[in-house]
């Protein structure tokens, strides 16, 4: 046995082991199911042995694992200290280098000024032309007269949404525009870059991005409604970019304003008092704009802080910043600068809303229950998106409930499956209702949407319920128990003020009606079949135990005084057909009452009436046709049992369960009242 296990272990551990070929050969070589079971047991033993060995190795090396983890922690702290020291040394070296370079730069500039007193426009344009020759698709940039290069350098572009690097670019800053060119992976000669975008200096704004490791040395270019983020090589180059960009934009504005002044017509004008009635309004507007202070540091850094919060998924922090801004501007006049700030912030609000909407989409993970959506829902409500939050929350929960129902395995008895189905669905519905009440406590207008959603969810539950209970042709007793379980679970929702019992009944009434009518037809056919073989003989149960069992069954059916119909020994003074009919009809009544809905009142009554009528008509026909006096008296005794014992029990049980009298059954009993007749007479019922 040990040798066989070793061979099997070597075979499974071999690098060229093929499971499919192994199973194929094994099924061909085995004589039958027994060999496969034995081989399966061997593999299971080998797996258990391997698991035990792994546990032993883990326990054996447990202390070594702990010591190794401690050493790793020590090394991590030492590496952090070393990194901190290197960072300090790097900053010191950069400051020294910057100081030396500034000194050298001053000396060099003096020497250049001495050697070349005036740098012509031609020299600047020639430098730009030589650089643009390396840019594919950038030949037309020099068509604008007076354009020359101010600054250029390599940058790394990052994605605005998730702050991940996109591509390496080279930026060319000119006196009137900014050119962005991407690096070519396959260079062709002197061409290194490819034209990407050209922005006029007046069409964008430059914003500093606060360092938040690992995101550092970044700045953002805002072109409404888009934006781009670039990262410099180090903090020194970033500072140069920001300063030169700001200075170049100011120079262009100054140059343009001078140009307009020169082009304006010069005519002698007298200093007259303005007669324009709107001049005072313009002055007041200027004073109002000066009164709104937007130079606060937190307002200036608000767009960047919002970008950081969205990237780090700090939704609460982003909404807090928006609330802070709204509170600050609530009583302030709406000036042009305020409008510009609002437009800049609105872009971030749309981005934040899109991220929150994605958090609630059904494509995301549905684990965690309704509480997992609370964070996104609460922030959407704070943003004034209550309707959208309600819609997305309910869609998310509908997908979660549908997924849970689909993942429920159909195994074992139908009643067991229905117990699991009801537990999953109504528990999810209850949790969703409680979470909805907590999240939307101040938004009463959303409650109607939840009621509509509850009805659609109930339809989904009834579809799964009916396909398993009614479409599979289960017995009436099983269907009755399943419906009873569903009703009991539905009653749990009343503790939160949500009563969907009527909805459940209205969705099930069609299937329940069909089940009652189908089972009624089965009972009628069975009764007719027994009637065709009726010999009108007393029952002989053979043993006292069988008689006791029959008495207990009749007692459970509600027939209290059944002893008066029992004779000596094990005899029963009733026919087998009448006793079987009584048990089957009382069982149908009990199952029908479990399935009872107010909409099914007449359906159940008519079904009972039709079943009873089949038995009564058979007894009536037998009394009319029977000539033997003794048998006629026995038939009369069975008729009396049905009229005086069974029918009152049915009427009483129905009225107790429903709360209404069974008028149709009462009329049937009165119209078929048996009377004592001469055995030789053919009249039996009046």
Residues 367 and 454 in one domain: yes
User: 426 and 492 in contact (C-beta within 8 Å)?
Assistant: yes
pLDDT over threshold 50, residue 266: no
pTM flag (> 0.95): no
Residues 445 and 318 in one domain: yes
> Residue 32: which domain range?
1-77
In a domain, 134, yes or no: yes
pLDDT in tens, 93-145: 877 877 777 665 555 555 545 544 444 555 566 677 777 777 887 767 777 77
Q: What is the CATH classification number for the domain harbouring 667?
A: 1.10.357
CA distances from 248 to 145, 179, 202, 252 (A): 17, 14, 11, 6
Residues 406 and 328 in one domain: yes
User: 665 and 609 in contact (C-beta within 8 Å)?
Assistant: yes
Residues 484 and 534 in one domain: no
Residues 420 and 359 in one domain: yes
3-state SS record for 11-78 = HHHCCCCCHHHHHHHHHHHCCCHHHHHHHHHHHHHHHHHHHHHHHHHHHHCHHHHHHHHHHHHHHHHH
In a domain, 86, yes or no: no
How confident is the model over 630-651, as a mean pLDDT?
85
Pair of tokens at residue 173: 């800053």
Q: Which of 299-303, 578-582, 675-679 has the highest mean pLDDT?
A: 578-582
Pair of tokens at residue 258: 């001078």
Bond preceding residue 225 cis, omega within 30 of 0: yes
In a domain, 684, yes or no: no
Q: Which long-range contacts (CB under 8 A, 24 or more apart) does 138-142 make?
A: 138/179, 138/181, 138/193, 138/195, 141/179, 141/198
The size of the chain, in residues, is 686
**Side by side, which strands form the sheet with 149-158?**
135-136, 191-200, 177-188, 165-174, 149-158, 226-231, 218-223, 205-209
Residues 479 and 520 in one domain: no
* Tally of structural domains, the chain: 4
Could you give the CA distance from residue 566 to residue 120 in angstroms, rounded to a whole number?
Answer: 132
In a domain, 263, yes or no: no
In a domain, 539, yes or no: yes
Residues 530 and 620 in one domain: yes
Residues 360 and 247 in one domain: no
Q: How confident is the model at residue 313 (pLDDT cuts 50, 70, 90)?
A: confident
Which of 45, 77, 109 marks a domain boundary? Answer: 77
Residues 429 and 357 in one domain: yes
pLDDT over threshold 70, residue 63: no
In a domain, 266, yes or no: no
Measured over the CA atoms of residue 660, residue 665, residue 671 and residue 674, the dihedral's sign is negative
Residues 519 and 643 in one domain: yes
Which of 208, 241, 257 marks a domain boundary? Answer: 257
Residues 40 and 169 in one domain: no
pLDDT over threshold 70, residue 482: yes
In a domain, 495, yes or no: no
Q: What is the CATH classification number for the domain harbouring 136?
A: 2.30.29.30
Q: How confident is the model at residue 432 (pLDDT cuts 50, 70, 90)?
A: confident
pLDDT over threshold 60, residue 198: yes
């Amino acid at each position: 046995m040990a040798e066989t296990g070793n061979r099997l272990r070597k075979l499974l551990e071999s690098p060229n082991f093929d499971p499919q070929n192994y199973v194929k050969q094994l099924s061909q070589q085995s004589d039958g199911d027994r060999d496969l079971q034995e081989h399966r047991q061997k593999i299971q033993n080998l797996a258990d042995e391997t698991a035990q060995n792994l546990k032993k190795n883990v326990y054996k090396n447990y202390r070594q694992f702990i010591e190794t983890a401690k050493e790793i922690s020590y090394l991590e702290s030492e590496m952090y200290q070393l990194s901190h020291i290197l960072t300090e040394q790097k900053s010191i070296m950069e400051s020294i280098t910057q100081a030396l370079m500034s000194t050298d730069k001053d000396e060099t500039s003096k020497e250049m000024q001495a050697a070349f007193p005036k740098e012509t426009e031609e020299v600047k344009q020639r430098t730009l032309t030589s650089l643009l020759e390396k840019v594919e698709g950038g030949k037309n940039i020099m068509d604008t007269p007076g354009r020359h290069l101010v600054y250029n350098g390599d940058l790394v572009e990052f994605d605005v949404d998730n702050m991940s690097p996109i591509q390496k670019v080279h930026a060319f800053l000119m006196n009137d525009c900014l050119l962005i060119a991407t690096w070519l992976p396959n260079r062709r000669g002197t061409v290194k870059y490819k034209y990407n975008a050209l922005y006029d200096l007046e069409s964008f704004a430059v914003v500093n991005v606060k360092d938040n490791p690992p995101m550092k040395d970044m700045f953002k270019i805002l072109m409404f409604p888009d934006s781009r983020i670039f990262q410099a090589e180090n903090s020194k180059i970033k500072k140069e970019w920001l300063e030169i960009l700001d200075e170049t934009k100011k120079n262009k504005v100054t140059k343009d304003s001078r140009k307009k002044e020169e082009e304006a017509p010069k005519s002698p004008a007298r200093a007259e008092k303005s007669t324009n009635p709107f001049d005072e309004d313009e002055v007041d507007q200027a004073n109002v704009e000066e009164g709104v202070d937007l130079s606060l540091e937190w307002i200036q850094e608000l767009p960047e802080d919002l970008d950081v919060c969205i990237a780090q998924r700090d939704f609460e922090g982003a909404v807090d910043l928006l609330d802070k801004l709204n509170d600050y501007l609530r009583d302030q006049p709406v000036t042009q600068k305020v409008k510009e700030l609002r437009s800049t912030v609105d872009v971030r609000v749309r981005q934040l809303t899109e991220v929150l909407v994605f958090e609630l989409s059904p494509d995301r993970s549905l684990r965690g229950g309704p509480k997992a959506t609370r964070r996104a829902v609460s922030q959407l409500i704070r943003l004034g998106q209550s309707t959208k939050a309600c819609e997305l929350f309910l869609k998310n929960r509908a997908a979660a409930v549908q997924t849970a129902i689909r993942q429920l395995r159909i195994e074992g008895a139908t009643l067991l499956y229905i117990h699991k189905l009801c537990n999953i669905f109504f528990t999810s519905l209850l949790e969703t209702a409680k979470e909805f009440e907590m999240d939307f406590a101040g938004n009463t207008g959303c409650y109607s949407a939840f009621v509509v959603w509850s009805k659609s969810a109930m339809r989904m539950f009834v579809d799964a319920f009916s396909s398993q209970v009614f479409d599979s042709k289960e017995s009436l007793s099983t269907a009755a128990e399943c419906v009873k379980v569903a009703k009991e679970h539905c009653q749990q929702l009343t503790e939160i003020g949500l009563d969907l019992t009527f909805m459940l009944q209205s969705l099930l009434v069609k299937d329940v009606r069909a089940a009652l009518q189908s089972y009624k037809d089965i009972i009628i056919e069975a009764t007719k079949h027994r009637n065709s073989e009726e010999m009108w003989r007393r029952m002989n149960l053979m043993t006292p135990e069988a008689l006791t069992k029959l008495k207990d069954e009749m007692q459970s059916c509600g027939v209290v005084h059944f002893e008066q119909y029992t004779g000596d020994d094990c005899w029963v003074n009733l026919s087998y057909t009448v006793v079987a009919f009584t048990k089957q009809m009382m069982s149908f009544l009990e199952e029908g009452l479990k399935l009872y809905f107010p909409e099914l009142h007449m359906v159940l009554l008519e079904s009972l009436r039709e079943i009873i009528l089949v038995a009564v008509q058979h007894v009536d026909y037998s009394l009319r046709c029977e000539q033997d006096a003794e048998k006629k008296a026995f038939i009369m005794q069975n008729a009396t049992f049905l009229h005086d014992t069974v029918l009152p029990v049915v009427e009483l049980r129905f009225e107790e369960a429903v709360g209404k009298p069974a008028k149709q059954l009462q009329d049937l009993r009165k119209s078929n009242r048996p009377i004592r007749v001469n055995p030789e007479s053919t009249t039996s019922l009046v």
